[in-house]
Amino acid sequence: MQAQVITTTLVVGTITMIALGGYLTTSIRDGLFRERLDQILLESARSTSEAQGNFDAATASTATQVQQLLNDMLPKLSTGGAAQREAFLWRPEDSTSPVAVIDLNTAPSLAEVITPEMRARTVAARDQLWQSVSVDQADGTVVPGIVVGSLVEVPLAGPFELYYLYTLEQEQRTLAFIQRILLGGAFTLVGLILAITWLVTRQAVHPVRQAAVVAARLADGHLDERMVVRGQDEMATLAASFNEMAASLQDQIEQMESLSTLQRRFVSDVSHELRTPLTTIRMAAEVIHASSDEFEPAIRRSAELLALQLDRFEDLLADLLEISRFDAGAATLEAERRDMRDVADRALDQAMVLAQTKGVWITASYPEEPAVADLDPRRVERILRNLLVNAVEHAEDGPVEITVGASAHSVAVTVRDYGVGMSREATAHVFDRFWRADPARARTSGGTGLGLAISLEDAHLHGGWLEAWGSPGTGACFRLTVPRRAGIVLESSPLPLEPERTYSGPAVSTGSIPVVRVADHGPAAVPTMDDESHSILVAHDRPQEGTR
C-alpha cells in the first residue's frame, strides 16, 4: 500500500512538474522575447531616424563623397543601442540611381539571414519590418536573432535598404539559466513530496501492518496477541477496536474449545459406560434368540429385531469411540508395507453378502504390478468396506466397480456405482457426520451415519485424500489416494475422480429423489445381470491379465 501511494505520488508529481515547468518556460520565453523585441524595434527606429537625419544634413555632391558618407555612417549604425548589432546598407535590386556606390555591411558571413522575401517586403512597405531568424555563431552554435529592416534616402544615390541584425544570445542564456533553476526546483519539490508522502503513509500504514501481523498471529493460534494503542486518533481507535474484537474472539474460541472438550469427553465416557450394560443386554438377547424357535411368531420376530438392533447399537458405539479418538488426537497409524490389491480383496469379501442380498454386480480392475504403499491395513480396509457398502446400497439396478491404480508416488482406489447419484450439494456434505442426502430413503445395511466421516479421518491419518463425485441419475464415484511412502505430499492421483462413461443399463428407480438425466459419455462396458439367478460377478483369485 505504501509503495502504491508513493508510486502514484511520484507519477502524478512528475507529470504536474513537467506540465508546470513547460508552462512557466513558455511564458518566460515569450515574455523575454516580447520585451527584447519592443526594445529592438524602439532602438532600430531611433537609429534609423538619426541616420536619415545625418543623410539629410550631408552636402555630398559626388559619388565618392556619397560612398565616404556611407562608410562613415556604417560604424555608427552597428554600435548603437544597448547591445552589439550588425548593420547592412544595400541598394535595392531595382534601383535606377546613376550614382555608383557599393553595398556595405558589418558581417558579410551573416548576409544570407536576410532573405529576398524580406528585402522585397521592406522595399514595398517603406516602413520598419522585423523577422525572426537563426544566427550561426563562430563556435558552431546557433542562436535566435531578429532582423529589422527599413528604407533611408541617401543623397544622390536614392533609397537604400537598412537592416539591423540583433542576436538574442543573452536572452537565450537567461532562459537556459531559468530552465535549470526550474528543473532543479522541480526535482527538489518532487523529492520533498515523496519524503512527505512516505512519512504520512508510513504513519497511516504502520498500524495496518501491525494489525495484519497480529491477525496472522491470531490465525496461527496465538490468541493473546494484541495491537499497541498510542494516542487518541483514528488509528488508536482502530487498534482499540481490533483488540476488543480479538478479546471477544478469544473468549468465544475458548468457550467453544471448552464445550468441544466436554462434548468429546461426554461421548467417550458415555460410549465406554454403555458397553457394560450393552454386554449384559447382548448376553440376554443371545439367550432369548437361542430359544426363539419355541416362541410364538410375533415374539420370535421381536427377538430377531432385538438382535439386529443390538448389532447396530454396537456398531454405533464403536464408531462413536473411534470418532472420539480422532477428536482427541489419540488415533495412531500402524503402517506397514502392504499391497493395496490384497486390502481391496478383503473389503470385497466382506461386501459380498450385502451385494448378494441386493443382487448387485461387483467388478474389479487391478494393475498387474503390485500397488504397494505404507498402509494401516485395518483402516484402509474399513474405508473400502464403507465405500463398497454405500455403493451397493445406492447402486439400484446398476453395477459397482472398484479400481486400483498406482503411480510413482501414490496409490489410489475408486469405487464407482451407477445408481441414483448425488447432487453438488450432497457431494459437499457427504463426509459430514450423521448427514444423509435423503432421510426418507430406507437403509438395508443399518449404517450409523459415521462411516464416511471416519473414512475421511482415516485417509487424513495416512496423509492422503478421500474425494467424492456424483451426478443425479448417473451415479457416484469415491476416490481414495494415499502416498506410497509416509511423508510424501500428494500432488495428483493415478486415477480420475470424474468417470468418463456412464452405465446404460436398466432404468434407475427414482424413489423419492428426483433424477436429472445428463448426457452420456458412451455406454459402459459392464456385464448385465441374469434376472433369474441374480448371480454376483466377483472372483477371489486375481487373474494374470490384471482385471476380474
Q: Which candidate, 75, 253, 52, places its Cα nearest to that of 159?
A: 52
Q: Enumerate residues 6+ apart whose C-beta is below 8 A from 160.
A: 70, 89, 90, 91, 92, 151, 152, 153, 154
Residue 477 pLDDT class (50, 70, 90 cuts): very high
How far CA 314 is from CA of 274, 279, 310, 454, in Å, comes to 10, 9, 6, 16
Half-sphere CA count of 183, side-chain side, radius 13 A = 6
Largest CA distance in the chain: 171
Residue 231 pLDDT class (50, 70, 90 cuts): confident
- For residue 287, the model assigns a pLDDT of 79
Mean pLDDT, residues 150-174: 90
Say yes or no to pLDDT of 328 above 80: no
| Alpha carbon distance 56, 330 (integer Å) | 126
Mean pLDDT of the chain: 80
| Alpha carbon distance 482, 492 (integer Å) | 10
Using the Cα atoms of residue 112, residue 117, residue 123 and residue 127 in order, give the sign of their dihedral.
negative
Q: Which candidate, 321, 318, 291, places its Cα nearest to that of 306?
A: 291
**pLDDT > 90: what percent of the chain?**
23
Grid coordinates representing 24? 512557466
237, 264 contact by CB (below 8 A):
no
Grid coordinates representing 126? 517603406
Q: Which candidate, 391, 312, 311, 404, places its Cα nearest to that of 355?
A: 391
- For residue 271, the model assigns a pLDDT of 65
364, 402 contact by CB (below 8 A):
yes
How far CA 181 is from CA of 24, 184, 421, 473, in Å, comes to 12, 5, 80, 81
Q: Report helix, strand or coil for 391.
A: helix
| Alpha carbon distance 356, 209 (integer Å) | 64
Residue 516 pLDDT class (50, 70, 90 cuts): very low
| Alpha carbon distance 529, 420 (integer Å) | 18
Q: Enumerate residues 6+ apart whose C-beta is below 8 A from 463.
A: 482, 483, 486, 487, 488, 489, 490
How far CA 424 is from CA of 279, 418, 469, 518, in Å, comes to 42, 16, 8, 14
Backbone angles phi, psi at 445, to 5 degrees: -100, -5
Q: Which amino acid is at 324?
A: S
**Bridge partners, 133 (sequence order):** 145
- For residue 502, the model assigns a pLDDT of 56
Which strand (E) or helix (H) includes residue 222? none
419, 361 contact by CB (below 8 A):
no
- For residue 81, the model assigns a pLDDT of 61
- For residue 447, the model assigns a pLDDT of 57
| Alpha carbon distance 171, 179 (integer Å) | 12
Which structural domains are found in the chain, ordered by start? 2-177 (3.30.450.20), 234-327 (1.10.287.130), 335-548 (3.30.565.10)
Q: Which residue has the cell 562613415?
A: 72
Using the Cα atoms of residue 58, residue 64, residue 66 and residue 70 in order, give the sign of their dihedral.
negative
- For residue 468, the model assigns a pLDDT of 92
- For residue 501, the model assigns a pLDDT of 62
Neighbours of 288 (CB within 10 A): 17
| Alpha carbon distance 385, 344 (integer Å) | 8
Grid coordinates representing 215? 491477525
Residue 503 pLDDT class (50, 70, 90 cuts): low
Q: Which amino acid is at 154?
A: V
**Burial of 150 by CB count in 10 Å (0-12 exposed, 13-18 middle, 19+ buried)?**
buried
Q: Specify the pairing of strand 158-167 against strand 86-90.
A: antiparallel
Grid coordinates representing 233? 486518533
Neighbours of 248 (CB within 10 A): 10
**Burial of 260 by CB count in 10 Å (0-12 exposed, 13-18 middle, 19+ buried)?**
exposed
Mean pLDDT, residues 212-224: 81
Half-sphere CA count of 328, side-chain side, radius 13 A = 18
pLDDT in tens, 376-407: 999 999 999 999 998 998 888 789 999 999 99
Grid coordinates representing 96? 535606377
**519 or 150: which carries more pLDDT confidence?**
150
pTM as predicted: 0.47
**187 or 269: which carries more pLDDT confidence?**
187
Q: Report helix, strand or coil for 127.
A: coil
**Burial of 352 by CB count in 10 Å (0-12 exposed, 13-18 middle, 19+ buried)?**
middle
Q: Specify the pairing of strand 362-365 against strand 475-483.
A: unpaired
Q: Which amino acid is at 293?
A: D
